[in-house]
Structure 1
Amino acid sequence: MKLLIMSDTHGDAEVISRVCSYYPEAEAVIHCGDSELPYDHEALEGIERVRGNCDHGTDFPEEKVFQIDRTTIFVTHGHLFNVKSSILSLTYRAKELGADICCFGHSHILGAEKINNTLFINPGSLLKPRGREEKTFVVVEIEEASYVVNCYTDDHELLKTMRFER
């Protein structure tokens, strides 16, 4: 099973559509906020999406929790959890929700780590990355015993692969 995860596209509908075209077989496409598009914009159709601090539509939920197979996925932008300082508050919320995977953005910094049996993923930014030049997104392959996190540039060049036990 594949999850396509992106964030912080800040008004660039074209990059959302382009990245989605790389993975038409993804079981879920996730946008972690700051799309700066209307909730019902065609580029966001079929995408699990949340409100970022730069999204002003009231249609966007602050958080989204859903399941695919037996995997619970929690999505939030991160600004309400002060993720630019620490993800401690976010870890508490993920635990409270029983999340297996937590997807968030806001910092524009690409990263993945496993904390207390939850995989935390920040796909970076597809418009204004921080800490690197490349604009990034993530594809997570959920396998029986592991998560494979593949980090890509907006041009679909593989930057790195990380494997985490489930």
Structure 2
Amino acid sequence: MSLASINTSAMHKAHSTSAPKPKPKPKPKPKPKPKPNKKSLKPVKKEPEVKPEEDVKETTQQDSKDNEKQESSNTTSEGAQAEALAYNEGVSDEFLTKIQMAINKKNKYPRIARIRGLEGEVLVEFILNVDGTMQGLKIIQSTAGDILNSNALKAVLSASKDFPLPKQKVRIKIPIAYTLKS
């Protein structure tokens, strides 16, 4: 008996099909960039409306002990004077102390922020009316994340019912610090 040799490569060639060559994709033509207009638009600044019969006191509390107490006055567009009182932690101002204590009672460190190790300071500003209502609550400056920012706003809102009533409309800026103990 003789062994016949089998051509195995012939079978593969007969059954194999060559893959179709991919068609080259047409290159998108670059769109011409619009030329900048020579006219530059100047930003329009809107100044807040202040009624002449209302005095607004601006109060700021700063947590850092090395800042000195400063007093300055600002003039609005109508010419009304707004007095700015700087507040340091060592200075005893009963009104601001009560506001800060009310916020601290309602301010809880969020668990997710504690787990993630988030720290920072959120500077909030709001206007406290004579009737105890609050308006214009906003974050002015923040070194914290979104979790701590929203928590600071919620703390101020929930603490607003415990704020003392001012003798006149007052603008308040208060820093809320979030720090973890090591």
TM-score, L = length of structure 1? 0.26
Which structure is larger by alpha-carbon Rg, 1 or 2? 2
More helix by percentage? 2
Higher strand content, 1 or 2: 1
TM-score where L is the length of structure 2: 0.25
